[in-house]
């Protein structure tokens, strides 16, 4: 066994494991909670397929009751996986293929991919590709369970020939936080609303570049070409060059996050592509580079969202707050308003205290914030997750948790709860009013 130790940590959900890519036999050293997904990934590495990972949105699972036909896949994915239906000489071309949800041991089912091509043909309004029939032969599929909104899902489209349609789809819907953490250790962070797509060797080797548009490298600081900048350096450059101060706080956050990923992809392209293109002399070099890329991505994503919010709070005049201050049992809430000092002042009115937890996804993570600040009975939770089920929302509400979301993703939440959600601008203004 090699000594490549990688540690995953999610506040109160911490576990450590050894990962040995060279031996590639996870069943011998991984815990039961992640053995299934580890073995599944090891199998996918060996087959000829195209791989796609994404987080399920409320529209995907049916939580919003939007009547969309199943799960959304980007045009790039559909065009590469099903190239033979990418045509307009036939009205709404389709293709039938087999699929199996391995994570839940469901029976094999038959799905249909269809290209609604009325708009490019000039005889309709639609121009989209959809995979349908998810529930026709698997009524209890986890992919159409609203309680799985926010879950990380891995898709492996098996292909025999490059220009032919995929004939089989293998699926893994992550069952718990440990499975998601294991997958993201390999894939990098999978952000709601985005995905990871490509060939398994590139993706699972850590060499698949994240989604985003490459920027002009000549606009970046020259020394970044020699030394990979820290996440804070990238954000400082972003805030200076791309302020977006004319946008609302909600729009500004989304725009800056998108631009941050574009910048990171550009920098990683500068540093990583020469190494990849040169090839590797041995497996040890391959492992070292792959681990370096993956760890760098995890390090960058860890505090990014909190730093974005910190910056916007200050820009909007919400300057009285403390981040990562210590509360009971050595807990460290992401943000306490108006300050750490006020929280520990027993004479300070509790109704003027406010806590905001920050989690990119909240499906199984939201309970972690309940005991982070005992004096605050009604904490707030900021998330980028595209929707929650009504049942999940009721659980949060029962525990006193209020969701804060960027306004552009409000439509991904069930209609009956949208009016109870705070957007970022509303949270800022109400919190400022408490400090008057």
Given this model, what pLDDT does residue 6 score? 30
141 occurs within a structural domain: yes
The answer to whether the beta carbons of residues 430 and 333 sit under 8 Å apart is: no
**Residue 326 shares a structural domain with residue 189:** no
Query: Coil, strand or helix: which one is 165?
Result: coil
Per-block mean pLDDT, blocks of 10 residues, the chain (436 long): 31 33 40 86 91 94 76 91 95 96 94 94 91 85 93 94 93 94 83 88 62 73 89 92 95 93 84 69 65 65 86 97 94 96 96 96 92 95 95 96 97 95 98 93
300 occurs within a structural domain: no
314 occurs within a structural domain: no
Cα distance between residue 229 and residue 264, in whole Å:
9
Given this model, what pLDDT does residue 212 score? 57
CATH of residue 123: 2.40.330.10
CA angle, 164 as apex, 160 and 170 as ends, to 5°?
Answer: 55
**Residue 200 shares a structural domain with residue 333:** no
343 occurs within a structural domain: yes
Q: What is the DSSP string of 343-389?
A: HT-TTS-GGG-EEEEEES--TTTGGGGTTS-TT-SS-EEEE--S---
Q: Which of 175, 205, 235 is the last residue of a domain?
A: 205
**Residue 201 shares a structural domain with residue 331:** no
- What pTM does this model have? 0.79
257 occurs within a structural domain: no
83 occurs within a structural domain: yes
122 occurs within a structural domain: yes
Given this model, what pLDDT does residue 135 score? 86
**Residue 54 shares a structural domain with residue 198:** yes
Domains identified in the chain, total number: 2
**Residue 53 shares a structural domain with residue 194:** yes
Q: Which of 205, 235, 258 is the last residue of a domain?
A: 205
115 is an active site residue? no
First-to-last CA distance in the chain?
60
Q: Which of 181, 205, 229 is the last residue of a domain?
A: 205
**Residue 55 shares a structural domain with residue 200:** yes
CATH of residue 380: 3.40.91.80
12 occurs within a structural domain: no
Cα distance between residue 13 and residue 392, in whole Å:
20
Given this model, what pLDDT does residue 189 score? 79
The residue annotated as part of the active site, out of 52, 182, 343, 393, is 343
Domain range for residue 332? 322-434
């Amino acid at each position: 066994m090699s000594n490549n130790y990688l540690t995953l940590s999610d506040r109160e959900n911490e576990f450590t494991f050894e990962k040995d890519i060279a031996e590639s036999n996870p069943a011998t050293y991984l815990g039961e909670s992640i053995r299934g997904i580890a073995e599944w990934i090891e199998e996918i590495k060996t087959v000829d397929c195209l791989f796609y990972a994404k987080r399920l949105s409320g529209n995907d699972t049916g939580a919003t009751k939007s009547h969309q036909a199943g799960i959304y896949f980007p045009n790039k994915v559909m065009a590469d996986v099903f190239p033979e239906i990418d045509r307009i000489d036939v009205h709404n071309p389709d293709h039938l293929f087999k699929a199996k949800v391995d994570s839940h041991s469901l029976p094999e089912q038959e799905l249909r991919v269809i290209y609604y091509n009325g708009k490019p043909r000039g005889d309709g309004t639609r121009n989209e590709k959809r995979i349908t029939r998810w529930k026709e032969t698997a009524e209890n599929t986890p992919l159409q369970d609203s309680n799985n909104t926010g879950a990380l899902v891995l898709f492996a489209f098996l292909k025999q020939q490059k220009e032919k349609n995929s004939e089989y789809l293998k699926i893994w819907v992550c069952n718990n936080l440990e499975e998601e953490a294991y997958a993201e250790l390999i894939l990098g962070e999978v952000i709601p609303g985005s995905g990871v797509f490509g060939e398994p060797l590139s993706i699972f080797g850590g060499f698949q570049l994240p989604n985003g548009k490459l920027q002009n490298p000549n606009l970046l600081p020259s020394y970044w070409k020699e030394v990979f900048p820290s996440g804070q350096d990238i954000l400082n450059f972003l805030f200076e060059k791309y302020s977006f101060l004319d946008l609302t706080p909600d729009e500004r956050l989304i725009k800056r996050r998108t631009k941050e990923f574009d910048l990171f992809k550009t920098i990683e392209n500068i540093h990583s592509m020469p190494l990849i293109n040169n090839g590797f002399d041995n497996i040890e070099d391959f492992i070292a580079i792959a681990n370096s890329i993956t760890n760098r991505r995890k390090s960058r994503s860890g505090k990014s969202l909190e730093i974005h919010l910190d910056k916007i709070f200050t820009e909007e005049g919400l300057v009285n707050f403390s981040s990562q201050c210590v509360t009971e049992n050595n807990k460290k809430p992401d943000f306490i308003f108006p300050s750490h000092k006020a929280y520990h002042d027993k004479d300070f009115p509790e109704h003027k205290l406010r806590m905001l937890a920050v989690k990119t996804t909240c499906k199984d993570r939201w309970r972690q914030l309940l005991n982070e600040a005992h004096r605050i009975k009604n904490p707030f939770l900021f998330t980028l997750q595209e929707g929650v089920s009504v049942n999940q929302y009721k659980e949060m509400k029962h525990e006193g948790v209020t969701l804060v979301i960027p306004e552009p993703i409000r439509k991904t939440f069930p209609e009956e709860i949208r009016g109870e959600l705070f957007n970022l601008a509303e949270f800022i203004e109400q919190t400022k009013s408490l400090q008057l």
